[in-house]
Amino acid sequence: MTDLVTLDRVVVAAHLDGREGRNRAATPGQLAAADDRAAVLAWLARYTDSPATLASYRKEAERLMLWCTLQRGVALSDLTHEDLLLYQRFLADPQPAERWVMAPGQKPGRNSPQWRPFAGPLAASSQRQALSILNAMLSWLVEAGYLAGNPLALSRRKRRLSAPRVSRFLPMEQWEVVKSAVQALPTVPERARQHASRSRWLVSLLYIGGLRVSEICAATMGAFFSQRASDGRERWWLEVLGKGGKTRLVPATGELMTELMRYRRSQGLSPLPVEGDGMPLVIPLIGPHKPMARSALHEVLKEIFRASAARLRAQGPEFEAAAAHLEAASAHWVRHTAGSHLSEKADLKVVRDNLGHANISTTSIYLHAEDDARHDATSAVHHVGWRTP
């Protein structure tokens, strides 16, 4: 069985590289790419300014191309609609597992012989996300004149009338447990104190600022700046680079600035940053002051969520469902939680601009309180009124 390697290192047989693919466009297109891998890399190159998006898109393109060449025995530009139906079933159960799935508990680097494209079978939601990404890729290759058609475009799609309500957020009672878990972190010895201070600052950035982890990794302390408005008041702002290379200004509230000063003092820094300050927003506990990896920040949050779940379980078995919900949470849930909580108290346009949504319909997924009020109002007045026998 051929060992799996990443897309940039795999050796593709000549008859599988797509130069003679039956779905290749009949006339030269707008790409210089002569084979499938070069065409896919051209598509991925559009996202180099958004590391998180690039990593997500590369993962799905890589999985499909490796499956094509190593398991299905066809080129990407030979794929049919029927092939992609088989691939969808493969995503739900990548077999043989020893070829495709990493060993439990392992997370080897992409250059490791133990690297595999999957951590396990994909849930239905992850399958939909994978196929959505691949559909976008194939549509772009058609638009660029590389492929004649998109075989995924034939898939049956359920009509979506509006954006779904987000469920990956923490209701206020669970958010209070998370805050308590952070404030209960040990502060001795010194390294524990620094970890507790960093955890509190990270949670503050994610919640008050509604930031993405990738935005935290990319920004520096110098991104904070103050500006005097026409009303004479001085306000602090945080400039971040969001998805698609778009910058936005996030209000640095009085509370966020207090937390910033608290964190900087804990690191032996001046209370406020100055213009051009290159210090990362979140500083590693050891080693040089360079930006922490996204995976490291995710692990800090996962540790907090595990501790929060343990606090709930200690209160009794009736809290098991809430504890399991907290255990499933990730860093991005805090951003969703921020949007959900803020939407209950502020105009939806404020939430949209703070979170950097291009369309307010995206922001509307956070209107849980509006749905809850509608549910309560309906329950209060809308009855059949059956007589009890």
* Domain spans in the chain, listed from the N-terminal domain onward: 14-154, 172-374
Q: Where are the beta strands (DSSP E) in the chain?
A: 224-228, 234-241, 247-252
Q: Is the dihedral of CA 262, 264, 265, 267 positive or negative?
A: positive
User: Band of the pLDDT at 247, cuts 50, 70, 90?
Assistant: confident
Are the C-beta atoms of residues 150 and 84 closer than 8 Å to each other? no
Residues 6 or more apart whose CB falls under 8 angstroms from that of 371 comprise 165
Q: Number of C-alpha atoms within 13 angstroms, CB side, residue 113?
A: 2
Residue 251 dihedral angles phi and psi, to the nearest 5°: -60, 120
Q: Which of 28-32, 180-184, 215-219 has the lowest average pLDDT?
A: 28-32
- Eight-class DSSP state of 47: G
Give the pLDDT confidence of 47-86 residue by residue, as tens digits: 887 787 888 899 999 999 999 988 999 999 999 999 999 9
pTM for the model stands at 0.56
Residue 138 has pLDDT above 50, yes or no: yes
Residue 332 has pLDDT above 70, yes or no: yes
Share of the chain above pLDDT 70, in %: 86
Q: Which of 323, 209, 303 is nearest to 255 (CA)?
A: 209
| pLDDT of 242 | 83
The residue with greater pLDDT, 288 or 314, is 314
Q: Where are the alpha helices (DSSP H) in 147-266?
A: 172-183, 190-208, 213-218, 254-266
Give the pLDDT confidence of 273-300 residue by residue, as tens digits: 998 999 999 999 988 888 899 999 999 9
Residue 389 has pLDDT above 80, yes or no: no
As given in the structure block, the two tokens for residue 233 are 């008041």
Q: What mean pLDDT value characterizes the chain?
A: 84
| pLDDT of 165 | 46
Residue 119 has pLDDT above 50, yes or no: yes
CATH superfamily of 172-374: Intergrase catalytic core (1.10.443.10)
As given in the structure block, the two tokens for residue 339 are 């949007």
Q: Which of 56-70, 89-103, 242-256 has the lowest average pLDDT?
A: 242-256
The one-letter amino acid at 117: P
| pLDDT of 75 | 94
Give the pLDDT confidence of 339-372 residue by residue, as tens digits: 878 777 766 677 777 777 655 444 444 444 444 4
| pLDDT of 1 | 40
Give the pLDDT confidence of 100-112 residue by residue, as tens digits: 998 887 778 888 8
Average pLDDT over residues 88-97: 93
| pLDDT of 162 | 43
Length of the chain: 389
| pLDDT of 153 | 80
User: Band of the pLDDT at 379, cuts 50, 70, 90?
Assistant: low
Order of strands, sheet of 247-252, starting from the edge strand that comes earlier in the sequence: 224-228, 234-241, 247-252
Are the C-beta atoms of residues 83 and 154 closer than 8 Å to each other? no
